[in-house]
Structure 1
Amino acid sequence: MTAIQFLAAFLLFNGHDLLAGGFVLFNVVVLADVVAIYDLRAVRLRERLAQLRVDLDVAHTDSVTGLAVRRLAERRLFEAAGSDVTVAVIDVDGMHDINATHTHAGGDAYLLSLAERLCCAAEPGDLVARLGGDEFALITQRDPVALEQSLASALAIPTTMDGVARPVRVSIGICRAPGGDPHTALGRADRAMYTAKRSGSGTEHYDPVRDGEPLPAYVRPAVRRRTTNGDDESVDRR
């Protein structure tokens, strides 16, 4: 029952007392007007909140693929701190050539087909996101080997461009963060992906020796070049 309906019922059963004094009836009418104004404001507030929810969904959704955006992926990793998380970073091979041959509209269609295949590789509770450009991520609690197998099966299905079947070619980096910092796993998976891209292997799992860690920000301009020339040079920590 709304406030106005309540007032109407109240007047129906108590009208003889209220009508005895015009002043009282006047105040009841004024009160009804005030309630109507607040009801209108409540409706507008609900409409505004609904629009804000829509805007929030748009802000967290990629316009081309419909996937989550990088911000949402990073939030998921932050919330997963302390738990076992596996991250896969997937980057399209030859995206520049695809755009040049099939226009950017064709490139967007290719990205959408890739997004659909990544969603096929995902399980309930996983998150698939477009990190930006032609780079994607899949965040899961599954074992890295199981994730690699799921991705291989889903990406084995070719896509169609201009009526011609085209294989989906990507480079994938996978990293497991067992109870550590899952946010770091995103950067490590990214480095493993670039290793896969350089070697042409398709998929690589993060290797701390091979992929290494980025040097701290304070190391500049000289760095330790043992890995390149075998000498252990001094490090300038200015």
Structure 2
Amino acid sequence: MPTRPWTKILHVGCTAAFVVVAVPTLSHMIAEGGAVKFIAMAGIAGVFAVAHLRVIGADRRIRELRNALEEASTDPLTGLPTRRTIDRWLAVGGERTVALLDVDDLHGINAAHGHAGGDLYLAAIAGHLRRVAEPGDLIARLGGDEFIVITSRLAHELADALTCAMTGTVKIGTSTVPVRMSAGICHHGDPRRALGCADLAMFTAKRLGGGIAHYDPDRDGVPLQAGVRPAVRQRDNRPTRRSVGGS
């Protein structure tokens, strides 16, 4: 990370002050035998040195804090943004399409291939989603086996892209595992409201056996509150068929 401009100025200032003022003066004091003055000037030089070290330490601390913030905003497994970034995007008003995606039967994949295999599966799904993203889209991991897409594209355009991402396969060891996900999509003027509606549509997709479901208030109901999900949510068992719902 490049050094901040103000730290560069202080670096140069401290060094220049020491070289231009302290060094010639100290040499003169030694030549004239002014021991007391020499000690005083040595103290001044020490102050410059301490200030210089503090500037270096402050700059290093800034880099450490920025790195920590970046790590907190990035999922280490998939490399995708996390809830911190999602919340910022949801706070911005305007027409948005939100898709909420949930991996089907991740428990079964973990049981068959171990948790390392499950992690590989999640990381591969993140790659599938990245490949269908467009500039200006947010692809993020909401947590666990859930992903979110926020875009300015229309709902049917996003659905077409996600269909491509959800029809691939993942190689785990010697096994080829199909991508199995359920997704809910909603387009709304309030992104937080869109998230709540997409959540309900996603569970409709699970009940139908997987695939993509567009939000339908008559079928899916109304979210409790914009962007707030029920504390206890009914999850179906392993989906048995795939379908695409629309409204």
| TM-score (normalizing by structure 1) | 0.80
Query: Is 1:185 aligned with 2:198?
Result: no
Query: Is 1:96 aligned with 2:107?
Result: yes
Alignment of 1:1-238 (within 5 A): 1-10=12-21, 22=34, 26-78=39-91, 80-81=92-93, 83-178=94-189, 181-200=190-209, 202-214=211-223
| Aligned position for 1:227 | none
RMSD: 2.3
| TM-score (normalizing by structure 2) | 0.77
| Aligned position for 1:236 | none
Decide whether the 8 Å contact of 2:168 with 2:178 is kept in 1: yes
Decide whether the 8 Å contact of 1:74 with 1:183 is kept in 2: no
The Cα offsets for residues 109-147 of structure 1, whole Å up to 9 and x where unpaired, read as 100100111111111221111111111101111111111
Indicate the SS of the match to 1:171: strand
- Structure 2: 5+ residue stretches without partners: 1-11, 226-247
Q: Which amino acid aligns with 2:221?
A: G
Indicate the SS of the match to 2:139: strand
The offset of 1:51, in angstroms, is 1.1
Indicate the SS of the match to 1:184: helix
Q: Which amino acid aligns with 1:111?
A: L
The offset of 1:26, in angstroms, is 4.3
Indicate the SS of the match to 2:159: helix
- Structure 1: 5+ residue stretches without partners: 217-238
Q: Specify whether residues 61 and 16 from structure 1 end up closer, same or farther in structure 2 by C-alpha distance, changes over 3 A only.
A: closer
Structure 1 runs of 4+ aligned residues shifted over 3 Å read 10-28
Identity across the alignment (%): 43
Indicate the SS of the match to 2:135: coil
| Aligned position for 2:240 | none
Q: Which amino acid aligns with 1:205?
A: H
Q: Specify whether residues 92 and 162 from structure 1 end up closer, same or farther in structure 2 by C-alpha distance, changes over 3 A only.
A: same
Larger deviation, residues 154-163 vs 45-54: 154-163
Q: Which amino acid aligns with 1:37?
A: V
Distance 2:152 2:206 in 1: 25
The Cα offsets for residues 14-57 of structure 1, whole Å up to 9 and x where unpaired, read as 78997879465544332221111011111111111111111111
Indicate the SS of the match to 1:65: coil
Q: Which amino acid aligns with 1:28?
A: M
Decide whether the 8 Å contact of 2:109 with 2:117 is kept in 1: yes
Distance 2:109 2:188 in 1: 34
Q: Specify whether residues 159 and 15 from structure 1 end up closer, same or farther in structure 2 by C-alpha distance, changes over 3 A only.
A: closer
Q: Which amino acid aligns with 2:161?
A: S
The offset of 1:215, in angstroms, is 5.2
The offset of 1:97, in angstroms, is 0.9
Distance 1:111 1:16 in 2: 67
Q: Which amino acid aligns with 1:177?
A: H
Decide whether the 8 Å contact of 2:184 with 2:198 is kept in 1: yes
Indicate the SS of the match to 1:68: coil
Indicate the SS of the match to 2:79: coil
Indicate the SS of the match to 1:139: strand
